[in-house]
Amino acid sequence: MSTPRLVATDLDGTLLHSDGTVTDRTRAVLEELDARGVPVVFTTGRPIRWMEELWADVGGHGLAICSNGALVYDVARREVRDFRAVPREVGVAVAEQLRTAVPGTTFAVEHTTGWASEVDFPRHPDDRAERHTGDLADIFGDDVVKVLAVHRDLEPEDFWRRVEASAGDQVVTTWSSSFALVEISAAGVTKATTLAVLADEMGVLPEDVVAFGDMPNDVAMLQWAGTSYAMANAHPSLHELADHRAPANDDDGVAVVLTDLFGLSR
C-alpha cells in the first residue's frame, strides 16, 4: 500500500500491552508520526473516565473516538466534542426486552461524564470511579453513550448471541471482553461510522487509512479502512476479515507495522 495518511488504532489488546501500558518503543513511533503530521486516531470502547491516565502516553493532542464510536473527545482541550446518545425510550425498551429474553441480565449506563448502574450490576475491580445506582429508568439520562448488559451465569458467547438476537437492529450490540458483557450503542453507531466522519473532515479517503484492532467491536472499522491489521492475539473473527496480521500487542505489534509502513528507523 502507499504510505497511509491516517492511522486508526484500538487500545486494549492492540496498542497497549496486556498490563495496560504504552511501551517506550510504541511511544517513540507515535511521537515520530506526530512530528510528520500523520494523524493517529485512538478508537476505543473505553469510556472517557478510563482514558485520563493514558493521554500523556498516547499523545495529549488530536482527537479520540471513545465508547465504541459514540463519543469524540478533543484531547488537547480535555472536552467532549461530539456524542451520539442512545435514545432513552429505545434504551429502556431494549433493556426490558432483554430481561424477558435473557433473565438475570443487569444493566449499567455510561454518560458523557461518569456512569451509573442498577444495584446488582457487578463492579470491575479496576474501576474506582464514583457510581450512582438505581432503577434503569431513573439513571438513564439524555447523554447515555453506551449501555452495558452483563450476566453472571451464562457463557460469554451464549450471552452475546442471545442479546444480539433479542435487540435486533434497534441498537448496535458488540463486545470486547472475555466475560458475559455486551456493549450497546445507538443504531448506526460504530467505531467505523465515527472514524469515517473524522476522516472526511480531514480530507482523507478510506483507502488512505490503516486500522488496527483485536476484538469484535473493531470489525466494522477494519472493514471500512483501506488497509486493516488484526493483532496476532485477536479474536478469530478478525483474522477472517483483516487484510493482514500484526504481531501481538505484547510484542508491540502496532509499532512494528507502523515502523515498516512509514520507513521509520528501528
Q: What are the pLDDT digits (tens) for 88-119?
A: 999 999 999 999 999 999 999 999 988 999 99
CA neighbours closer than 13 Å in the CB half-sphere of residue 228: 22
N-term to C-term CA, the chain: 20
pLDDT at 7: 97
pLDDT: which is higher, 148 or 179:
148
**Lowest pLDDT segment from 14-28, 128-142, 229-243:** 128-142
pLDDT at 110: 95
Please report which confidence band the pLDDT of residue 53 belongs to, taking 50, 70 and 90 as the band edges. confident
pLDDT at 28: 93
CA distance to 50, 52, 184, 257, per residue, from 55 (Å): 10, 6, 25, 22
Mean pLDDT across the stretch 185-207? 97
The mean predicted confidence, pLDDT, of the chain is 93
* Residue where the block lists cell 507515535: 30
Please report which confidence band the pLDDT of residue 62 belongs to, taking 50, 70 and 90 as the band edges. confident
In the predicted structure, residue 37 carries a pLDDT above the cut 70: yes
Tell me how far the alpha carbon of residue 218 is from its chain's centroid.
7
**Looking at this protein, which amino acid is placed at residue 101?**
A
pLDDT at 213: 98
256, three cell numbers: 512494528
In the predicted structure, residue 16 carries a pLDDT above the cut 80: yes
| Whole-number percent of the chain with pLDDT over 70 | 97
Q: Tell me the longest C-alpha to C-alpha distance in the chain.
A: 57
In the predicted structure, residue 180 carries a pLDDT above the cut 80: yes
Residue pair 250/259 in contact (Cβ under 8 Å)? The answer is no
Cβ density class 217-251: b for 16+ within 10 Å, e for less: bbbbbbebbbbbbbbebbbeebeeebeeebbbbeb
Mean pLDDT across the stretch 202-211? 97
pLDDT at 127: 66
Residues in the chain: 266
In the predicted structure, residue 129 carries a pLDDT above the cut 70: no
CA distance to 87, 97, 145, per residue, from 137 (Å): 12, 14, 15
Mean pLDDT across the stretch 219-224? 97
The DSSP letter of residue 112 is S
pLDDT: which is higher, 70 or 59:
70
Query: What is the rounded distance in angstroms from the CA atom of residue 95 to the CA atom of residue 212?
Result: 31
3-class secondary structure, 104 = coil
pTM, rounded to two decimals: 0.92
